[in-house]
Homo-oligomer: A and B are copies of this chain.
Amino acid sequence: MLYTRWIFLWITWTMAQPFAIAVHGGAGHITPHNLPPEKVQKIEQYLREVVEEGYALLNQGRMALEVVEIAVRRLEDAGWFNAGRGAVLNEDGFPELDAGIMDGKDKRVGAVAAVSQTQNPITLARLVMERTPHVLIVGTGADSLARLWRLPPFQNQGYPQSETLWASGTVGAVALDKYGNLAAATSTGGIPRKKRGRVGDSPLVGAGLYAENGVVAISTTGHGEYFIRSVLAYDIAARLRYIRTSLPEAIQEAFQQRLEPIGGTGGVIAVSPTGEIFFHFNTPGMYRAGKDAKGTLMVGIFR
């Protein structure tokens, strides 16, 4: 009897815990003029599916870390975005991918940069976190780990050059699970025609992503150099920790006071410890979707 009572209490407890997820497919010069209506519909549909899938997993009790990895894998596999299969090429004509993942529970991090031999750098990043004593592994060293761990090889679907204007996006996901854990993940192909070996903000903790239980989970997108120089993701977290401002204010002030004065453009997605989700960008558009703790679904591309 006691046993069934505990099960009942557990079910009641988990049903009452907030959970939420948000994803992005990049911010940039995305307008109704350069994105045809049929693409709008397809991309919005895809983002909605990714969010609904992640939300269902969280509802089943899966951890935030797992869910952001799964969501980012889906965005890497899409070929719609500048990450995984859809990655742009560097100046030497081949893709070099960057990705990072962070678990807000214990501040563990895994990241890879300038990798060319796997389609899912976010999974390689997670394995770096779980199977090595390191946090960030780059270049051929990271590629040889991808082979060692038998990750599926990279299959570039060929970036649609004529469509660069709309497919400008880094991808990312943030989530809150039922146990109060926050997690963030970001993955990108970087800037088209970048110098070989160039690394942007996406794999860098504090710049392209940050997660800390009780504070916030953030994933950013945009012109990476400016996000690195302004340490944007951790600046938002620091405002929450030290000024105790609200999350939307912290995001807005970080953009106004740090990113924009040096000329940076881009966007962020964030989830709070109570399952609110926020989107912010200073570009014409950002591919984005999310479902908050109240079950409200949001999907959008333009302002």
Contact = CB atoms under 8 A, between A and B. Distances in A.
A110 to B, nearest CB: 10
Contact of A262 (B107, B132, B224, B230): B107
A237 to B, nearest CB: 8
A219 to B, nearest CB: 15
Nearest to A232: B206
Contact of A204 (B132, B194, B204): B204
B238 A242 contact: yes
B205 A138 contact: no
Nearest to A115: B197
Among A113, A141, A228, which residue has the most Cβ atoms of chain B within 10 A? A141
* Identical chains in the assembly: 2
A256 to B, nearest CB: 14
Nearest to A145: B195
A106 B264 CA distance: 13
Contacts of A197: 137-142
Given A139-B139, A195-B145, A197-B141, A133 B231 contact: no
Interface in A189-225: 194-200, 204-207, 210, 224-225
Nearest to A228: B135
A109 interface: yes
Given A114-B139, A135-B224, 6 more contacts: A106-B262, A132-B198, A136-B198, A137-B195, A137-B199, A138-B139
19 contacts: A106-B262, A108-B229, A114-B141, A132-B198, A133-B225, A136-B199, A136-B228, A138-B138, A141-B195, A141-B197, A204-B204, A206-B207, A206-B231, A210-B231, A231-B234, A234-B234, A234-B238, A238-B242, A242-B243
Interface of A: 106-109, 113-114, 132-142, 144-145, 194-200, 204-207, 210, 224-225, 228-231, 234-235, 238-239, 241-243, 262
